[in-house]
Each structure stands twice: as C-alpha cells, then as structure tokens.
C-alpha cells in the first residue's frame, strides 16, 4: 500500500528507534511519517501542552490518510490511526529518550544557540552510533555539529523536510564537511523507507531548494518595488507562464513573511560571498508587512488577504 509499509518489507531500515525533538509543525509531521512506516518514535518537546498539540496534529493528519485508504470502513480507519499512534511515544525529558536512539531528528525553534545547547547535551547522553540530524532551513549544519564531540562530527548531517511533511516528497540530505559517507547512505535509505525522495547536497546556505527559491521571491519583490508589475500579475505570470503551482507572493505568504525575512536577514548579514548580498538585500515592503504583523496565511493577511 502507498501509505504504510508492511512489517518485514524488504526496504532497507538503517535505524529502529527515532527521536524527534520539537512537536511543532515539522516535528509532528516527521514523527508521523516515521511511525507510519513502522519506526518506533519518541517525540520530545518542552512541555506536555506542546506534545498534546503535536499528537493532535498527527492524529488528524492520520485520519485523513485513513479516510483515503479505507474509504468505507470506519473501524479499519480507527484501527489504522491507533496502530500508527501506538508507535509514537512522547516525552518532556530532554535527554533520556536519546539514550537508546539510533537517529535523532531535531526540529525545534530556528535559533542557533538553542539548537547548539540541545545538541551539546544530547551528545553526552547518546550512544556513539546515534546519528544526529537537524531539520534547520537556514542555519549551517557545520555550526550545529561544532557543539558536539569530534566523534559525533562524522555522525551528524542535515535532514531537511518540507511543509507539509506528510504530503511533500522531498528530503534534502545535507553533508557537512565532516559527515561520513556511511551516514549519508543510512539517511538516504531512511528517506526511502519512509517513501520520501532524497536529494544530496553540501552544507551551503539554503541547500538546494531555498537557495534558489529565496532569491527568486526577493527578485519578485524588487520587481514590484520598482513599479514594473503588480503582485497579482507577477503571480499569474509565473503560474501560467512558468507552470509553477503558486506565484512567488502566494508562496511567500504560505512560507510566512517573518520566516522569509528571518532567512534573508541571516544570509545578508553573513556578508559578501555566501549567497550574494544583492540577491537577498532587505526589502522595505517585506519589512513593513512583518512590522505590521501581516505574516501571510497564518495571520490571515500578507501580500493577499485570506
């Protein structure tokens, strides 16, 4: 079946116990797909309230999968959801779950200090074979693994999922300078075992997708700022002329304008050479929308109203 693998299927399974840090939008999606494909998962967050929210996301997403899989059979739907949920444990203990983990996927707040401090404490508690990964969108993997021991540096990589995780097929497997090829291979097999399509890239800003998409969205903003075309016409042009499912402004509203600003501010400050400052220079229009709290879909207003 497309949505779960039977136990004992032939797909290579390089890990058995997966620990996901952060039960927000991304972490709950990652926990869901791992559990759906028969991994034992522990989801960790700061408090029970956050974990309840995460489990709520997973349950409602699984119900949608179940309705598709077992259209006319409510009891099979319930059994499917309960079966997958039985593989998702939760914990507020920041360290204990990692003591027998094979794979750690970190999906906590996008703050380098907070992430480094988590990885530092996990490194002390985790067995040597445990592979550490981060789902960060914009922070260098090399700076995260610098918080851990030299031995862990070969066992550390980026594992970048896309939102919404259950629907989006792509995972970027990011190789830092010290990541071993064996770890890259295990992560590749892991992605395949949860029915995702892995791509590989080096540890450079934005990896593949965001490195191309972010300058594209900023170039669309500059075009509108110059008064050369309207927001709506740029979006229509890219949908009907380039075949993109969303125009750059619809996409920016979907991603969140605060997130777009956070990424470009981070890259811009890094200085010439990393991305090319002209590509990610601040936009007054973007700054004004963020300052006004108009962050896109999630607040009901960004470039468009929702």
Binding ligand NAI (rule: CB under 6 A), the pick from 20, 118, 187, 220 is: 118
β-pairing, 131-134 with 197-202?
Answer: unpaired
Give CA–CA dist 160/247, Å, rounded: 23
For residue 72, the SS3 value is: coil
For residue 173, the SS3 value is: strand
**Which residue number, 137 or 178, has a Cβ lying nearer to ligand NAI?**
137
Give CA–CA dist 263/4, Å, rounded: 34
Q: Write out the two tokens for 92.
A: 């507020």
Q: How many residues at the interface with ligand NAI, by CB under 6 A?
A: 24
Site string for ligand NAI, 1-40 (x = CB under 6 A): --------------------xxxxxxx-------------
Residue 212 interacts with ligand NAI (CB under 6 A): yes or no: no
Residue tagged active-site, from 160, 186, 250, 283 = 160
**Which residue number, 41 or 224, has a Cβ lying nearer to ligand NAI?**
41
Q: Active site includes 200?
A: no
**Which residue number, 195 or 297, has a Cβ lying nearer to ligand NAI?**
297
DSSP conformation letters of 100-115? G-SEEEE---S-HHHH
For residue 171, the SS3 value is: strand
**Which residue number, 80 or 249, has a Cβ lying nearer to ligand NAI?**
249
Q: Which residues are catalytic?
A: 137, 160, 172, 210
Binding residues for ligand NAI, rule: CB under 6 A, are: 21-27, 44-46, 50, 94, 107-110, 114, 118, 135-137, 161-163
């Amino acid at each position: 079946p497309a949505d779960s693998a039977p136990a004992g299927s032939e797909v290579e399974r390089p890990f058995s116990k997966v620990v996901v840090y952060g039960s927000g939008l991304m972490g709950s999606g990652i926990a869901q797909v791992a559990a759906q494909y028969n991994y034992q998962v522990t989801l960790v967050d700061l408090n029970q309230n956050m974990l309840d929210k995460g489990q709520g996301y997973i349950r409602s997403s699984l119900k949608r999968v179940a309705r598709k899989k077992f259209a006319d059979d409510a009891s099979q739907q319930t059994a499917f959801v309960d079966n997958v949920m039985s593989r998702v444990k939760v914990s507020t203990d920041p360290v204990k779950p990692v003591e027998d983990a094979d794979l750690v996927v970190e999906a906590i707040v996008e703050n380098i200090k907070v992430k480094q401090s988590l990885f530092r404490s996990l490194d002390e508690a985790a067995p040597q074979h445990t592979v550490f990964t981060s789902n960060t969108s914009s922070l260098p993997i090399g700076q995260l693994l610098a918080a851990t021991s030299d031995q862990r540096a070969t066992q550390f990589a980026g594992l970048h999922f896309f939102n919404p995780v259950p629907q989006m097929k792509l995972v970027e497997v990011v190789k830092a300078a010290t990541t071993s090829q064996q770890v890259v291979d295990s992560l590749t097999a892991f992605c395949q075992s949860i029915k995702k399509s892995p791509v590989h890239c080096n540890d450079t800003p934005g990896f593949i997708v965001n490195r191309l998409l972010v300058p594209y969205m900023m170039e669309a903003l500059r075009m509108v700022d110059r008064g050369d075309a309207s927001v709506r016409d740029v979006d229509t042009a890219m949908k009907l002329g380039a075949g993109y499912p969303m125009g750059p402004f619809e996409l920016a509203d979907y991603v969140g304008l605060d997130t777009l600003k956070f990424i470009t501010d981070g890259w811009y400050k890094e200085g010439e050479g990393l991305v090319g400052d002209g590509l990610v220079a601040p936009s007054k229009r973007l700054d004004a929308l963020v300052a006004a709290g108009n962050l896109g879909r999630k607040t009901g207003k960004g470039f468009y109203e929702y």
